[in-house]
Each structure stands twice: as structure tokens, then as C-alpha cells.
Amino acid sequence: MEVIIQPDKKAASSLAARIVAQLIQRKGECVLGLATGNTPLMLYKELIRLHKQGELDFERVTTFNLDEYVGLSPSHPASYTSYMWENFFKHINIPAHRVHIPDGLAPDIPAFCRQYEGAIKAAGGIDIQVLGIGTDGHIGFNEPSSSLASRTRIKTLTKQTLEDNARFFNGEENVPHHVITMGVGTIMESRKCLLMAFGKKKADVVARMVEGPITAMVPASILQMHPEAVVIIDEAAASKLERSDYYRWVYDNKPDWQKY
């Protein structure tokens, strides 16, 4: 796991954007795994800026989103489909047919999930998976106790996540209880994972993910087993890490050829 501590979320998001931009510029036809929530908003803003400046072309980029609420129409303002189009896709030149977001209204959810997994494979697998982290340690919507080998499937949200996401739904009672999420195993097959976390609220869970044991009770901790997991955090989210001095030292002493 590479842990990179940046002064604030702006610097952290610019660095994450640089990593994504380098992939697009190098590979052209590439596959991005995308996340929602507050955390990646500045990353998307920065990618949009680079696109508008003529530095990034999304014509041959394919995307797969991590998750979506079950029973929510894509046009619902709190759906992840609305989020992605509002905050990212409508501002870039990605062809609509290259965008994939789980269908919360799929009549046969297990069949849809199998098809989603098949589509990721058919696209050649995910090059970079962007991730946030829930305060309970979830990635995507893989709540604590999720199998670390799980595939795309339906999940039931924890009370904690219902509370955390209530702000998007005018109260906890309106948050759908079920979601479709890529599995932990699906995420682990991405060639690179790029997890961001910002703010004091994430400090505990970041410490458990990076320095705690690998456990299904903190699904994000499985990233310790990923060959290319990059964790980009701000000072506040890093505040409970025991080895932060070491992570800073490693980053400051990266050989030139390894720098982003």
C-alpha cells in the first residue's frame, strides 16, 4: 500500500487527477472504475478542467461505477446516475454508451449483477478504480462482514451508512436500504486502486484500513493485499496513523522514475 499524505484535499485531488490523467494520456482506450460521495468531487472537477484545457480526451474511455441504490430511478436527484452525470459526465466528451452504472431498477438483480461483471471483463478489466471509504470501512457499498472475495451483488446498508447518507435524502427514513455494489473481489481485480479520504471524520477508519489487521469488519483493509493500492489522504484523515512520518519520508524520497 502506498500512503500519500497531502496538505489538504485540493492537493490530494490534484495528485489523484494527475494519476488518472497519465493513464488516459498513455493508454487512450482505458477503463476507469468510479466512485461517488463527497470525496471524489474535486478529482472530477480537476479532470473536467484538464479536459476543457484540451489535455484530456474521454472519447475512448470506458467507465464502471461502483454502486447504485436499489429501487431508485436513474433520474432521482440522489441516484448515483444523477450524481455522475451532474458532476462529471455531462462536462466531458465521454460517449454515453461507454458509461456503466449499476441499474437500481433491474427487474432481475442477480442476472443484472452477472451481466455487469461480464461487461467489466469484456472491456478488458478496470485500469484504475477510484475509491472513497465509508466511516464504517466500506468500499463501494461493501459493508463490514462482506466477503472479501465477493462479486457484484445486492447488499443491505448498515445503520451507520443510512445515517451518513441521510443528508442526500431529506432524512434517514428515506434512504433506500438496498444497493447494488461491485464486490470486494471485483474491486481487487482492478489493476490499480486509488482510494482517497479527507477530514477528521475519516481518521479512525483510515488508521484501521492501513495499519490494522485485514478483516471483513473493515472491508477496505483488504487493499493491503492489492499489488497497486494508492491511498491519498489529507492531514486530518492521516492524523491517527502511527507511521505517518515513514509514509511522508517514502513519498519525499521516491526515485524520479517512480514519481507521479
Could you tell me the smallest distance in angstroms from the CB atom of residue 54 to ligand GLP?
29
3-class secondary structure per residue, the chain: CEEEEECCHHHHHHHHHHHHHHHHHHHCCEEEEECCCCCCHHHHHHHHHHHHCCCCCCCCEEEEECEEECCCCCCCCCCHHHHHHHHCHHHCCCCHHHEECCCCCCCCHHHHHHHHHHHHHHCCCCCEEEECCCCCCCECCECCCCCCCCCCEEEECCHHHHHHHHHHCCCHHHCCCEEEECCHHHHHCCCEEEEEECCHHHHHHHHHHHHCCCECCEHHHHHHHCCCEEEEEECCCCCCCCCHHHHHHHHHCCCHHHCC
Task: Pick between residue 50 and residue 134 the one whose CB is nearest to ligand GLP.
Answer: 134
Task: Pick between residue 13 and residue 244 the one whose CB is nearest to ligand GLP.
Answer: 13
Task: Pick between residue 171 and residue 255 the one whose CB is nearest to ligand GLP.
Answer: 171
Could you tell me the smallest distance in angstroms from the CB atom of residue 66 to ligand GLP?
5
Could you tell me the smallest distance in angstroms from the CB atom of residue 134 to ligand GLP?
5
The span from the CA of 58 to the CA of 25, in Å, is: 10
Task: Pick between residue 21 and residue 220 the one whose CB is nearest to ligand GLP.
Answer: 220
The span from the CA of 54 to the CA of 244, in Å, is: 37
Could you tell me the smallest distance in angstroms from the CB atom of residue 228 to ligand GLP?
19
Q: Catalytic residue numbers?
A: 67, 136, 138, 143
Task: Pick between residue 44 and residue 141 the one whose CB is nearest to ligand GLP.
Answer: 141
Which spans of this chain sit near ligand GLP (rule: CB under 6 A)? Answer: 35-39, 66-67, 132-134, 140-141, 161
Could you tell me the smallest distance in angstroms from the CB atom of residue 128 to ligand GLP?
15
Most distant CA pair in the chain, distance: 52
